[in-house]
Structure 1
Amino acid sequence: MSQGITHVLEEWKCLDEEYQRLQETHKKYLQKLDDISKLQNNCSTSISRQQKKLKEITHLVKQYSKVPSEEDAKNLHEITEKIKTRPNAFFEMEAFLPKKNGLYLSLVLGNVNVTLLSKQSKFAYKDEYEKFKLYTAVTLVLFSFICFFFVNYRVVDALLNFLLVWYYCTLTIRESILITNGSRIKGWWVFHHYISAFLSGVMLTWPDGNLYQTFRNQFLAYCLYQSFVQCLQCYYQSGCLYRLRALGERHNMDLTVEGFQSWMWKGLTFLLPFLFFGHFWQLCNGLTLFRMAQLSDWKEWQVLMCSLCFLVLFMGNFFTTVAVVRQKIKTRNPKPKSL
């Protein structure tokens, strides 16, 4: 047998041995997956059972809360305090368990499991989301600047509006996935992106004409300003969240948002004037479009629809920001008086 053939046989023997080990490893992997699936089902079932039992016990505690015995009242109080801590504990557990997608994700993705089962995967996806917001905001600043100062073509404006539609639609999907994986963003700041995506879609369909050209520069200036503020928010909120997470004061899956939240109070109140100015610009856009809808040459339905969207955005953004600031001022710890 030639030396070359001997070398080939030796290489094949080593490769075949490695393949046998691979098969064994893969069998163990499949077995572990099966075990993990069973543990997940057990945990989900136990959590559901615990939640049901907690409701029953809470009802019983309320029923026997007016007991004459001081010792019984103390025991019931201890149970009540422990019950209050359970929802957060269940929330943390469920963040690492597969769950059914919400209506929106079911419509977009179907029944695909989007739960990330490791902290590293969750953090990596969250950080990629933050980078996506920042990079897209910078792109929108440049695009809006070019359209406002250098280019006046409806096709280019349509590309900008298409980018806005894609951006906000992508945000809604990514945020839904992050919420499934334990992020606490909710309420108005989620709904805000649905309205913004709809508004951008309406702007995309608005045909060129006198009314469009009348509102064009105001809208582009608003987009330029809004994208610039988003860049500021992404940069400063990310730094603030990093410090608060390091101190253990914030949840690791908390996100930056297009608004003001209580955790931004320390060192980030300078953003408030920028935010309020943007809110009132939305009001100005809504009123401008509403006046345009009163003109005799008004034909496009997009004028009134965009006006309504801007007014809804203004009211939601403004009143939510005011409510957060007011709540933060009320709950702020008073400074000790100096003697």
Structure 2
Amino acid sequence: MANGLTNILEDWKSLEEEYHQLQETHRVYLQKLDEISKLQKNCSSSIANQRKTLKDVSRLVEKCSTGPSADDVKALEEIKEKIKTRPNAFAEMEAFLPKKNGLYLSLVLGNVNVTLLSKQAKFAYKDEYEKFKLYLTVLLLLFSFMCYFFVDYRFLDALLNFLLVWYYCTLTIRESILITNGSRIKGWWVFHHYISAVLSGVMLTWPDGNLYKIFRNQFLAYSLYQSFVQCLQCYYQSGCLYRLRALGERHNMDLTVEGFQSWMWKGLTFLLPFLFFGHFWQLFNSLSLFKMAQLPDCKEWQVPMCGLCFLILFMGNFFTTVAVVRQKMKSRSQKTKSL
């Protein structure tokens, strides 16, 4: 037998053995997947039953009148404390179980399961989200700088606004996936991106005319400032979150946001003047647009619509930031009194 054919037969024999081993490994893999699916359904069902029973027990505890025994009082208090901790424990469990998508994700992605089933995968997706925000913010900063100082073409303005629409729409999808996987970003800072996407879309459709040219530099200067502040926030909030996670004071899936939250208080209060200045700039943009909408030659619907979006952004950002600052100052004063 030729030497070359012998080598081929030996290689093929080795390849066949590896292939049979691969088939067995894949069979075990599919079996484990089926087992995991059954375990997921059992866990989800058990959590639902636990929640239902916990509500019934909570009602009984509230109605229960303890006797004179100190042991009865102590036992009841222990049950109450454990009842308070159960919802958080259920939420931690559900973070690693498949769940039904919310309305927004269902409209965008359908019924695709977006739950990441390991801590490593969750952290990797969260870190990629933070990098995406930082890289796009730097890109928007440079793009706004170029359009404001060097280039005055409507086509490039449209590209900037299209990039803003894509950026905010992508953020809303990524944040929805992160919330599904246990991230605790909520409230106004989620809705903020929906309004920003609408605003950028309206700016994209605004036809090139006299009123657009009047507002163009004001909008570009605002975009430049916002991108600069967001870069500052990404840098300092990331450092703050890293320290708090290391100390065990923050959840590992918490994110940086375009605003001010209570955990940012230490070392990040210097951001407050920048944030408030940006909020009032949004109010200034809104008032300028509403004033332009009253001009006789104003025919574009984009003018009052952009004014309304800027007004909503100002009100949401300003009152949310003030509420967080008041809450933090109140909690600090209470701690001082207790000491």
The TM-score bracket by the shorter chain reads over 0.9
CA contact (8 A) 1:65 1:76 kept: no
Structure 2 counterpart of 1:99: 99
Structure 1 counterpart of 2:336: 334
CA contact (8 A) 2:130 2:256 kept: yes
1:184 aligns with 2:184: yes
Matched ranges for 1:47-196 at <5 A: 47-65=47-65, 69-196=69-196
TM-score (norm 1): 0.97
| Whole-angstrom CA distance in 2 between matches of 1:144 and 1:316 | 24
1:292 aligns with 2:262: no
Shift of 1:172: 0.1
Shift of 1:199: 0.5
Shift of 1:63: 1.1
CA contact (8 A) 1:116 1:181 kept: yes
What percentage of aligned pairs have identical amino acids?
A: 81
Q: Which moved more, 1:42-51 or 1:294-303?
A: 294-303
One-letter amino acid of the counterpart of residue 109, structure 1? L
| Whole-angstrom CA distance in 1 between matches of 2:157 and 2:224 | 13
| Whole-angstrom CA distance in 1 between matches of 2:65 and 2:316 | 40
Question: CA 1:67–1:203 in 2, change beyond 3 Å: closer, same or farther?
Answer: farther
| Whole-angstrom CA distance in 1 between matches of 2:297 and 2:320 | 36
Shift of 1:78: 1.2
- Aligned pair count reads 337
| Whole-angstrom CA distance in 2 between matches of 1:207 and 1:68 | 78
Structure 2 counterpart of 1:309: 309
1:278 aligns with 2:267: no
| Whole-angstrom CA distance in 2 between matches of 1:66 and 1:210 | 76
Give CA deviations for 1:95-119 in whole Å, capped at 9, x if unaligned: 0000010000000000000000011
1:235 aligns with 2:235: yes
1:31 aligns with 2:31: yes
The residue matched to 1:334 in structure 2 has which SS? helix
One-letter amino acid of the counterpart of residue 14, structure 1? S
Question: CA 1:295–1:65 in 2, change beyond 3 Å: closer, same or farther?
Answer: farther
Matched ranges for 1:212-251 at <5 A: 212-251=212-251
Q: Which runs of 5+ in 1 are unaligned?
A: none
One-letter amino acid of the counterpart of residue 181, structure 2? N
Question: CA 1:67–1:292 in 2, change beyond 3 Å: closer, same or farther?
Answer: farther
One-letter amino acid of the counterpart of residue 8, structure 2? V
CA contact (8 A) 1:202 1:305 kept: yes
Structure 1 counterpart of 2:207: 207
CA contact (8 A) 1:134 1:231 kept: yes
One-letter amino acid of the counterpart of residue 41, structure 1? K
TM-score (norm 2): 0.97
Structure 2 counterpart of 1:259: 259
The residue matched to 2:336 in structure 1 has which SS? coil
Shift of 1:76: 1.7
CA contact (8 A) 2:101 2:111 kept: yes
Shift of 1:335: 8.1
One-letter amino acid of the counterpart of residue 226, structure 1? Q
Shift of 1:68: 5.3
| Whole-angstrom CA distance in 2 between matches of 1:336 and 1:109 | 50
CA contact (8 A) 2:66 2:72 kept: no
Give CA deviations for 1:266-285 in whole Å, capped at 9, x if unaligned: 11111111100000000000
Shift of 1:71: 3.4
Shift of 1:40: 0.3
Give CA deviations for 1:17-36 in whole Å, capped at 9, x if unaligned: 01111111111000100000
Question: CA 1:266–1:335 in 2, change beyond 3 Å: closer, same or farther?
Answer: farther
| Whole-angstrom CA distance in 1 between matches of 2:150 and 2:250 | 44
CA contact (8 A) 1:65 1:73 kept: no
| Whole-angstrom CA distance in 1 between matches of 2:192 and 2:65 | 42
